[in-house]
Structure 1
Amino acid sequence: MPNFQGLDLTGKTAIVTGASRQRGANVVVNFTSANSKQRAIDVVQKIEANGSRSILCQASVANVKEISQIVDAALQLSQNGKIDIVIHKYDPLFSLLFHQARMLTMTTNSAALGVDANLDEVTEELFQTHFDTNVKGPIFLTKAVIPHIAKGGRVVFVSSAAARLGVAGQTVYGATKAANESCARVWAKELGQSHEITVNCVNPGPVATDQWQESDDQFRKDMQPLIESTPAAARIAEVDDIAPLVAFLCTDDARWTTGSVLCANGGLYN
C-alpha cells in the first residue's frame, strides 16, 4: 500500500507564472505586469528563505513569443536539463500553495483571467483575452515544454468548478475551464505511451486564498448560496484541502491516473 511519502517531491524546480505565493520548491516565479511584480519578489524571497533556489521571470503566456522565456528560465534552474512537471494553474481566486511538496522541474501557470459577465455583457475583447490566457497559454506552453520534459513527467491543470456548474455570468470563463479539461483528456492519449506522461485536472470550488479575500463584497455575497450548499461542509476550501491533491498527481504514486478530473470541491459536483 502506498504511504503517500511520495508527496515529498524534493529537489524539483517550478515555474510559477502570475503566482502570489509558492513554498518548498526550486522555482521560476513568473509575473506579467508591474502590479504583480512585488508579489513575485515576495515569493522569491520566501522560497530562498526556505533554502530553495528561485528565478524571477517577466513574461505572459498569452503572448506566444514570450513563452520561450519561461521555458528557458526553467531549464536554467533545472539541475538535470529536464522539465518534469507542468502545472497549468489559471484561477485568480483559487490559486494554490504547494506547501507540502518540493517540486523538481515544474512549470506552473497561475496567470489567469476570470472576469464574470452575463451573455449580454460579453465582448469580443473579453472573449479574446480569456481564451488567450486560459486556453492558448497552456497549449503553447506545454508544446514548448514537451521537447524538454522527462520520461514519467506530469501535466496537471488546476481548473475550476465553473467548468461544470453552470454559474451565471461565467459564459466565457467557464468555457475556458471546460477547454482545460478537454486538453487533459486529449493530451493523456497523445503524450501517454509516447512520452510516459500523465495529464490530469484538479477542479476546486472557492478556496480561501489572497485573491478570494481581495474579491469584491458582491461577488462573495453571490457565492454564499453555493458555499452553503457544499455537501462536505458549509464553507469554502482551505489551501490545505487542495494542495496535497495536486501534489499527489505529480508523484509516482499517481502513475496509473491520467486523463481524469479530480473534483476537489467538497462534493459540489462529481
Structure 2
Amino acid sequence: MENAQKLAGKVALITGGTLGIGLATAKRFVAEGAYVFITGRRPAELEAAVQELGANASGIRGDVASLSDLDHLFAAIKEQKGYLDIVFANAGVADLAPLADATEAHFDKHFDINVKGTFFTVQKALPLLRDGGAVILTSSTVGSQGPANLSVYSATKAAIRSFARTWTAELKDRKIRVNAVSPGSINTPGLSAFGQTPEQTAQIFESLASQVPLGRLGDPDEIGKAVVFLASDDSSYIAGIELFVDGGVAQI
C-alpha cells in the first residue's frame, strides 16, 4: 500500500521557521514524515517552535544574512544527519518605506536578508543536498505587482523569483527542482506588525481582504500545503515555476 506520508524519510531545512509561514510549513513537513531543521534569530522563539514541532525537529539559531551563521548551520546539519533532501529558503523581512524616505539601512537590511540570505542559503546547502532534491524559495505577489511604499521589498522578491529560473537551469543535471511560492496577504505576525495598534491592524487586514477575490486573508497553513506539494513527488515534473497562493489577488 502506498505510504500516505508525502515526505517520509526526507530531511528538510526551513529558514525563518519559528513563526508564520515557516512554522506552519514545518508542522506540515513533520506531519508528512520529514525530519526538519528550522532556523531563527531569536533563541526563545526558536526553542518554543522546536518544542511545538516535537521529536522530529531541531532548531539552529542563526541569521541568514551572516555567512558564518550559515556555515555553522550546515556544519550542524552535516554532523546530525549528513544530508538534505529539501531546502525551503523562507527567511525574510518586510518594512514599509516610500521611495522618497527609504534609507540605505532599509535597503541593505532587505537585500541582505531576503536576497543575500536566500542566495547563500541555497549555495551553501548544495554540498549536502542530494541529487533529485527540492528547493523552494519564498517570493511574493509583490514581486510582480507595484504596491506603493514597498519598492525595496518588492524588488527583493522579484530577485528571488529570478533565482528559481536560473537555478533550475544550473541544477538540472542533478535533477534538483527549484520553485518559488508567492504568497499573497497571509495572516501572520509579520503582517500584523504593519499596524501600530490592534485597531489599525484590523483596518489593514480588512482593507487587504477586500482586495482579494476570495474575500479573506490567507492562512499560513495554506502556504505550508503548497510548499509540501512543491517539495514532494506530487510535483515531480514541475521546475522553475512561481506558484501563487494568493486568493487570486495577483491573477485578475
Asked whether the two chains share a fold, i.e. TM above 0.5, the reply is yes
1:151-178 Cα distance to aligned partner (Å, 9 max, x none)? 1110111221111221111010000000
1:253 shift after superposition: 2.0
Partners of 2:76 and 2:148 lie apart in 1 by: 39
Tell me the equivalent position of 1:68. 71
Partners of 1:53 and 1:248 lie apart in 2 by: 20
TM-score, normalization by structure 1 = 0.80
Tell me the equivalent position of 2:88. 87
1:22-43 Cα distance to aligned partner (Å, 9 max, x none)? 32242323222xxx22111011
Are residue 52 (structure 1) and residue 53 (structure 2) matched? no
Equivalent residue in structure 1 for 2:37, among 7, 28, 35: 28
User: What letter corresponds to residue 221 of structure 1 in structure 2?
Assistant: Q
Partners of 1:190 and 1:249 lie apart in 2 by: 18
2:131 is paired with a residue whose SS is strand
User: What letter corresponds to residue 209 of structure 1 in structure 2?
Assistant: T
Partners of 2:227 and 2:11 lie apart in 1 by: 15
Query: What are the equivalent positions in structure 2 for 1:1-270 lying under 5 Å apart?
Result: 5=4, 8-18=6-16, 19-20=18-19, 21=23, 22-23=26-27, 24=30, 25-32=34-41, 36-48=42-54, 51-54=55-58, 56-78=59-81, 81-89=82-90, 110=91, 112-192=92-172, 194-216=173-195, 217=197, 218=200, 221-222=203-204, 224-231=206-213, 233-270=214-251
Partners of 1:211 and 1:223 lie apart in 2 by: 12
User: What letter corresponds to residue 88 of structure 1 in structure 2?
Assistant: A
1:45 is paired with a residue whose SS is helix
Q: Is the 8 A contact 2:15 2:89 kept in 1?
A: no
Q: Cα gap change, 1:4/1:180 in structure 2, threshold over 3 Å: closer, same or farther?
A: farther
Q: Is the 8 A contact 2:131 2:174 kept in 1?
A: yes
Unaligned runs of 5+ in 1: 90-109
Partners of 1:128 and 1:177 lie apart in 2 by: 14
Unaligned runs of 5+ in 2: none
User: What letter corresponds to residue 27 of structure 1 in structure 2?
Assistant: V
Q: What percentage of aligned pairs have identical amino acids?
A: 31
Q: Is the 8 A contact 2:14 2:87 kept in 1?
A: no
Q: Cα gap change, 1:251/1:16 in structure 2, threshold over 3 Å: closer, same or farther?
A: closer
Partners of 1:5 and 1:26 lie apart in 2 by: 16
Partners of 1:201 and 1:16 lie apart in 2 by: 14
Q: Is the 8 A contact 2:205 2:217 kept in 1?
A: no
1:223 shift after superposition: 5.3
TM-score, normalization by structure 2 = 0.86
1:11 shift after superposition: 2.8
1:15 shift after superposition: 3.0
1:71 is paired with a residue whose SS is helix
1:166-204 Cα distance to aligned partner (Å, 9 max, x none)? 111101000000000000011011111x21111111111
